[in-house]
Amino acid sequence: MPVEIAPTDCKTAPGARNRVLDPLHMKDWQIAKAAEAHMKPFVTLADELGLLDEEMIPLGRYVGKVNFTKASSRLRGAPMGKYIDVTAITPTPLGEGKTTTTMGLVQGLGKIGKKVVGAIRQPSGGPTFNVKGSAAGGGLAQCLPLTDFSLGLTGDIDAIANAHNLAMVALTARMQHEANYDDARLAGTNMRRLDIDPARVQMKWVMDFCAQALRNITIGKGGKMDGFEMDSGFQITVSSEVMAILAVAKDLRDLRQRIARIVVAYDRSGREVTTQDLEVDGAMTAWMVKALNPSLLQTIEGQPVFVHAGPFANIAIGQSSVIADELGIRLGDYLVTESGFGADIGFEKFWNLKCRASGLTPNAVVIVATIRALKMHGGGPRVRPGLALDEAYTKENCALVEAGCQNLIAHIETVKKSGITPVVCINHFHTDTAEEIRLVRTVAERNGALCALSKHWLKGGDGAVELAEAVVAACGKPSRFRHLYELDTPLRERIARIAKDVYGAAGVVYSDTALEKLKQYEQDSTTWNLGTCMVKTHLSLSHDPELKGRPTGWTLPISDILIYRGAGFLVPVAGAIKLMPGTASNPAFRNIDVDVETGEVKGLY
């Protein structure tokens, strides 16, 4: 049954006359379409942000990039604003609205008179056309323009795919020529024999869709002119190490050096074969020059939002770029960024990886919680995408909420370990009751967090004022930021600290493969300063997605340890994580279409 809302629960599009935007009765793309008619032109937005003409790269009326080299050179040494990270409790498979909350907080800070900038990841085409959707936010807390944001934006993901696949072209061509040429003929090409082991190729091809049929393939079939025959496959573009590098690179020189260090394969003696060995690192960087510049978009209420990088949150760092943060924190009084998944994954990597790469220190951390997710963690029925929620999630049930708050407490404790004040944001759903909300407030405040109810999805910035004020208050508290481990901490000890202090594991166990690599990396001094980028499911504090709440007495199994030398990470793997997701039986692309009269895309969410 439709829920009736009072006029004050509606929103009028900026500049529109009597154009009511009603999230309860309109889809996200319909709201975006109505609001986009009143967006600020890119040059106006950039000018208000404080950018100079020569720092603007317009790519149409409403979308553009910022010349990072010019802008950062001018802004170097400028005062820095407050730095806020948005994370969450362990989500349901539906997600709990981190990006929506990020946009809402940016809008809420704008409502109380703050000069604020947002920074979020670029969405992947895989989730956009599959189940998750575009990740532009929702309701009256969105990033605009929705279609540009969702469908390729300014070409960064295409550049990453081309750079990555060029490395694969270089690798496979080299393997073919080495197989077909003797040493004398190979020497005549000015190439030395790399003797690549086909069983130890570390990379696959990339494409930005969820294509499970391409996870495992055989290439090079035919004759000797058709390539080197071997097993290969595809991964989704956003899982590429090139994307991870874009997220942490400080400038073009740093990007170039990191790309040269990417380990593509191993030779038959076990030596690393890098893109530099293949002499393809310079050409890969050429593809990435324009991608180094962040895109500039806006919220539904006209605040600036940098959109840059989009690495996987469970296999990679799961953050928007260091470059976007470096610009935003000097152009605004407040910069709001977002970390992928819950605080056990997204914030832990923000805390121990991204902040190390940038040198920036957060002033506050927002933990997004929903009554829905807390009920699930308290023992509620299983939540499945595409299926109606059980009435346990739409009727008051304080017992489930209270039991589920153990998950919230775990994330509060994680953030507090960093020395930063957490702010719990209760992302409001219209089915939440006053008693359920009161209970979460009590638990949050009792455990050392500030707490705010936010109705940004329904009311935009007006609905996020309480959250904005709580964040300002948190930013005013003393910061004692400290990393969970120092870079001279041995890898084995780092993994144990993350497992026990963040996930709540009783211990760690290694497979034979992982133990062999652990010993190898412990003896290799060139890996000692690499960050530790853990891989596990986002659907539980543990490695098992079926374990909800705050599991105890379990052991974290490490099955493998990967090396992303270019990004600067060692990657311990807990559980089965696929680099190429699969398309579901009811994907979003079934609802996406084009108005053939106007060319407008409809059905995005």
The answer to whether 576 and 560 are in contact (CB under 8 A) is no
Q: At what angle do helices 434-446 and 398-417 cross, to 10 degrees?
A: 30
Considering 100, 147, 532, 537, which one is annotated as catalytic?
100
* Amino acid 337: pLDDT: 98
The CA-atom distances, in angstroms, between 516 and each of 61, 196, 346, 519 are: 55, 21, 28, 5
Q: What percent of the chain has pLDDT over 70?
A: 97
pLDDT digits (tens, 9 = 90+) for 300-315: 999 999 999 998 877 7
The predicted model gives 240-261 an average pLDDT of: 97
Give the C-alpha separation, 245 to 301, whole Å.
32
Q: Is 28 helix (H, G, I), strand (E, B) or coil?
A: helix
Give the C-alpha separation, 571 to 517, whole Å.
11
Q: In this model, does residue 450 exceed pLDDT 80? A: yes
Answer whether residue 30 is part of any domain: no
Q: Is 121 a catalytic residue?
A: yes
Last residue of some domain: 261, 281, 301?
Answer: 281
Number of compact structural domains in the chain: 2
Query: Residue 277: is it exposed, middle or buried by C-beta count within 10 angstroms (0-12/13-18/19+)?
Result: buried
Measured distance between the N- and C-terminal CA atoms of the chain, rounded to whole angstroms: 22
Q: In this model, does residue 3 exceed pLDDT 60? A: no
Considering 283, 417, 429, 433, which one is annotated as catalytic?
429
Give the C-alpha separation, 596 to 325, whole Å.
39
Helical H segments across 447-595, by residue range: 456-459, 465-475, 491-497, 512-523
Q: Is 228 a catalytic residue?
A: no
* DSSP bridge partners of 88: 368
Considering 312, 341, 350, 569, which one is annotated as catalytic?
341
Answer whether residue 112 is part of any domain: no
Quote the mean pLDDT of the chain.
94
The predicted model gives 255-268 an average pLDDT of: 98
pLDDT digits (tens, 9 = 90+) for 348-374: 999 999 999 999 999 999 999 999 999
Answer whether residue 238 is part of any domain: yes
pLDDT range class, residue 11, cuts 50, 70, 90: low
Last residue of some domain: 264, 281, 298?
Answer: 281
Considering 29, 350, 457, 554, which one is annotated as catalytic?
457
* Amino acid 18: pLDDT: 38
Considering 136, 167, 247, 313, which one is annotated as catalytic?
313
Give the C-alpha separation, 368 to 432, whole Å.
15
Give the C-alpha separation, 377 to 547, whole Å.
9
Considering 11, 98, 258, 261, which one is annotated as catalytic?
98
Answer whether residue 304 is part of any domain: no
In DSSP notation, 431-474 reads T--HHHHHHHHHHHHHTT-EEEEE-HHHHGGGGGHHHHHHHHHH
Q: Is 287 a catalytic residue?
A: no
Q: Is 365 helix (H, G, I), strand (E, B) or coil?
A: strand
Q: Is 341 a catalytic residue?
A: yes
Q: Is 132 a catalytic residue?
A: yes
Considering 33, 82, 132, 174, which one is annotated as catalytic?
132
Query: Residue 527: is it exposed, middle or buried by C-beta count within 10 angstroms (0-12/13-18/19+)?
Result: middle
- The pair of three-digit structure tokens given for residue 227, joined into one six-digit string: 């390539």
Q: At what angle do helices 68-75 and 322-331 cross, to 10 degrees?
A: 50
Q: For position 528, which CATH number holds?
A: 3.10.410.10
Sheet holding 272-274, edge to edge: 196-201, 263-267, 272-274
The predicted model gives 423-446 an average pLDDT of: 97
With a CB cutoff of 8 Å and minimum separation 6, the contacts of 422 are 364, 365, 366, 367, 411, 412, 415, 416, 448, 449, 450, 474
* Amino acid 135: pLDDT: 86
Answer whether residue 496 is part of any domain: yes
Query: Which range of residues forms the domain containing residue 511?
Result: 491-573
Angle in degrees, CA 478, 482, 485, rounded to 5:
165
| The dihedral sign for the CA sequence 170, 156, 205, 223 | negative
pLDDT range class, residue 17, cuts 50, 70, 90: very low
pLDDT range class, residue 89, cuts 50, 70, 90: very high
Answer whether residue 453 is part of any domain: no
Give the C-alpha separation, 199 to 573, whole Å.
20
pLDDT digits (tens, 9 = 90+) for 452-494: 999 999 999 999 999 999 999 999 999 899 999 999 999 999 9
Give the C-alpha separation, 244 to 47, whole Å.
30
The predicted model gives 497-513 an average pLDDT of: 97
Give the C-alpha separation, 115 to 332, whole Å.
5
Answer whether residue 273 is part of any domain: yes
Give the C-alpha separation, 481 to 570, whole Å.
23
Give the C-alpha separation, 234 to 165, whole Å.
10
Which of 57, 34, 54, 210 has the alpha carbon at shortest distance from 130?
Answer: 210
Q: In this model, does residue 385 exceed pLDDT 90? A: no
Last residue of some domain: 230, 248, 281?
Answer: 281
- The pair of three-digit structure tokens given for residue 92, joined into one six-digit string: 């349901």
pLDDT range class, residue 12, cuts 50, 70, 90: low
Q: In this model, does residue 139 exceed pLDDT 70? A: yes
When comparing pLDDT for 322 and 578, which is higher?
322
Q: Is 205 a catalytic residue?
A: no
pLDDT range class, residue 8, cuts 50, 70, 90: very low
Q: For position 219, which CATH number holds?
A: 3.30.1510.10
Answer whether residue 91 is part of any domain: no
